């Protein structure tokens, strides 16, 4: 079996350089790292995770905590993060909090506090001060995706701004009677995303001089069936029917498209529909939407964590870098579900 000395001879470098190149600990040029990686691959050399952990004091494992595993957004963020981590030689351990019971307390009070992960990122979870302080006290870098966390670097879209962008798109097409399918109080997710998106919708209407009508709002649960039922209520009465619908998620928007079709309406001739997400099904349904690029959010979150780990290593575990709030990009994608008001 090949050893580190064999890799060093084949790559024409020292064993110390091989160690730095394969572990990511220390400066190595891009060309040298590539030469070392190729030599290790040719010889079938694999770094011992146990030896690496003993030498560096790190597990090369990142913890990810999500509220649900069966939602497209969360799995997309994880996919993006894993791409970056695998390229950098890190594993990812996923903690899913969707079950019943005390999973959350076990994760934050036991699993993450043991020496199982070097750093943690959370997706759409509002953390308590105690949860944050426990992790930071142990020197574990922490990044939050989906909303602000005091004392923590975060990555999020501006939910008020993206809702305004979607609603402004409908207003620019001449629609004046615009309905909104948003979240219910029971489904006001962490960081109050449904509330923020409703505020953006209402701000766009007010700025355009249009009335905000309570009867044009329906609460739902961010699912396709929920959007379907809400749209049926909005579109079921011809003389009160809106000419356009802004749904706070693509799944609810797709439900609205299906409801319109079942009522004999043509999208967008009779009603325009816009959502937020750019869900994988959005293009299939011709849905206009505001894309929030969750895979890119996951990639960015992983890079922020690895940068924080590098900073912690360079200061010997001393002062942590100041937390920074990053705004993720979001873009309007116009497809066939929206058109000018006739």
Domain 59-157+294-327 top-level CATH class: alpha beta
Q: What is the pLDDT of residue 256?
A: 98
Beta-carbon contacts of 218 under 8 Å, excluding residues fewer than 6 positions away, are 179, 180, 181, 182, 230, 231, 233, 234
**29-33, 76-80, 167-171: the lowest-pLDDT one:** 29-33
Give the model confidence (pLDDT) of 59-80 as tens digits.
789 999 998 888 889 999 999 9
pLDDT band at residue 22 using 50, 70 and 90 as cut-offs: confident
Strand (E) or helix (H) holding 53: helix 49-56
Q: What is the pLDDT of residue 117?
A: 87
What is the residue extent of each domain of the chain?
Answer: 4-55, 59-157+294-327, 159-291
Give the model confidence (pLDDT) of 283-312 as tens digits.
999 999 999 999 999 999 999 999 988 876
Say how far apart CA 234 and CA 241 lie, in whole Å.
6
Say how far apart CA 282 and CA 251 lie, in whole Å.
8
**77-86, 148-157, 204-213: the lowest-pLDDT one:** 148-157
Q: What is the pLDDT of residue 147?
A: 83
pLDDT band at residue 53 using 50, 70 and 90 as cut-offs: very low
Cis link prior to 268 (omega < 30° from 0)?
Answer: yes
Q: What is the pLDDT of residue 105?
A: 81
pLDDT band at residue 51 using 50, 70 and 90 as cut-offs: very low
- Mean pLDDT for 142-146 is 91
Looking at per-residue pLDDT, the higher value among 250 and 18 belongs to 250
> Taking Cα atoms as reference points, which of 212, 213, 265, 266 lies closest to residue 237?
265
- Does residue 54 have a pLDDT over 50? no
59-157+294-327 and 159-291 share one fold: yes
3-state secondary structure 180-223: EEEECHHHCCHHHHHHHHHHHHHHHHHHCCCCCCHHHEEEECCC
Domain 159-291 top-level CATH class: alpha beta
- Mean pLDDT for 255-280 is 97
Give the model confidence (pLDDT) of 175-224 as tens digits.
999 999 998 766 665 668 889 999 999 999 999 999 999 999 999 988 99
Q: What is the pLDDT of residue 19?
A: 78
Looking at per-residue pLDDT, the higher value among 315 and 225 belongs to 225
pLDDT band at residue 107 using 50, 70 and 90 as cut-offs: confident
- Does residue 166 have a pLDDT over 90? yes
pLDDT band at residue 127 using 50, 70 and 90 as cut-offs: confident
Q: CA geometry: angle at 247 spanning 186 and 277, to 5°?
A: 100
Whole-structure pTM value? 0.79
Fold assignment, 4-55: 434 Repressor (Amino-terminal Domain) (1.10.260)
- Does residue 37 have a pLDDT over 60? yes
Q: What is the pLDDT of residue 50?
A: 44
């Amino acid at each position: 079996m090949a050893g580190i000395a064999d890799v060093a001879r084949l790559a024409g470098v020292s064993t110390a350089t091989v160690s730095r190149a394969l572990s990511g600990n220390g400066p190595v040029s891009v060309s040298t790292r590539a030469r070392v990686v190729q030599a290790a691959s040719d010889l079938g050399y694999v770094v011992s995770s146990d030896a690496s952990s003993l030498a560096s004091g790190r597990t090369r494992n990142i913890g990810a905590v999500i509220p649900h595993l069966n939602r497209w957004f969360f799995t997309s963020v994880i996919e993006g993060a894993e791409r970056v981590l695998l390229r950098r030689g890190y594993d990812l351990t996923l903690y899913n909090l969707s079950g019943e019971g005390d999973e959350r307390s076990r994760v934050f009070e036991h699993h993450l506090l043991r020496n199982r992960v070097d750093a943690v990122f959370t997706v759409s979870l509002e953390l308590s001060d105690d949860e944050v302080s426990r992790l930071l006290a142990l020197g574990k870098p922490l990044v939050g995706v989906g909303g602000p966390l005091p004392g923590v670097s975060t990555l999020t879209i501006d939910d008020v701004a993206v809702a305004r962008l979607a609603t402004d798109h409908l207003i620019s097409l001449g629609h004046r009677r615009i309905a909104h399918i948003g979240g219910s109080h029971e489904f006001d997710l962490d960081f109050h995303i449904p509330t923020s998106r409703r505020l953006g919708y209402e701000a766009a209407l007010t700025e355009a001089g249009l009335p905000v009508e309570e009867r044009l709002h329906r609460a739902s649960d961010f699912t396709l069936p929920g959007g379907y039922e809400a749209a049926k209520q909005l579109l079921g009465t011809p003389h009160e029917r809106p000419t356009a619908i802004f749904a706070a998620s693509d799944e609810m928007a797709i439900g609205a498209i299906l409801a319109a079709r079942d009522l004999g309406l043509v999208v967008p001739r009779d009603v325009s529909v816009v959502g937020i997400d750019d869900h994988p099904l959005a293009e299939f349904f011709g849905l206009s939407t505001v894309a929030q690029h969750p895979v890119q959010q996951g990639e960015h979150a992983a890079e922020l964590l690895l940068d924080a780990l590098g900073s912690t290593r360079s200061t010997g575990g001393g002062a942590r870098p100041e937390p920074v709030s990053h705004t993720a990009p979001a873009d309007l994608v116009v497809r066939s579900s929206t058109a000018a008001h006739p």
